[in-house]
Amino acid sequence: MELSDPLLLTVKMFLADVRSWRQKYRDGEYMCADFAKEVYDAATGREIRCGYVTVFFEVSNISHAIVAFKTDYGLNFFEPQSGEEESVVVGRPYPIMMQGVPGGAIVRVIEIKWNDGTSTVID
């Protein structure tokens, strides 16, 4: 299977079609990892290169799962619980309040596992 990096517009149309946020967050049952995996699997099925992202925070044992796409506008992160693009930057607070994310949590490391078998670490 040949995966390709999409245009940002393609990602937004894809997310609108997948609508992962139609699911409800249920602690212990359907959490951030499940939302991210749903988008990651759907992207793989459509031959879109997608990254499963684990965001690690300072002073917290909790991590958070989102997705990433390398587009014509660079590396773009998306919150699969809302379908919204987010600016996730190491050393800054996670940009939005989401279930499963500690309030005011500072991003320490971003790990991306791409569906083409490669990986990226941003620290």
Q: Is residue 116 domain-resident?
A: yes
pTM, entire model = 0.90
Let me know if residue 16 belongs to a domain: yes
In a domain, 84, yes or no: yes
| Beta carbons within 10 angstroms of residue 74's beta carbon | 8
* Residue 97 domain flag: yes
6, 114 Cβ separation under 8 angstroms: no
**Which CATH number does the domain housing residue 13 bear?**
3.30.460.70
Model confidence pLDDT, tens digit, residues 103-114: 778 999 999 999
The total number of structural domains that make up the chain: 1
Model pLDDT for residues 33-71, shown as the tens digit of each residue: 999 999 999 999 999 999 999 999 997 788 899 999 999
Residue 49 structural domain: 8-122
Contact 23, 38 (CB under 8 A): yes
Residue 112 belongs to a domain: yes
Query: Is residue 53 one of the residues assigned to a domain?
Result: yes
114 domain residue, yes or no: yes
Contact 73, 8 (CB under 8 A): yes
Separation CA 15–CA 67 (nearest Å): 11
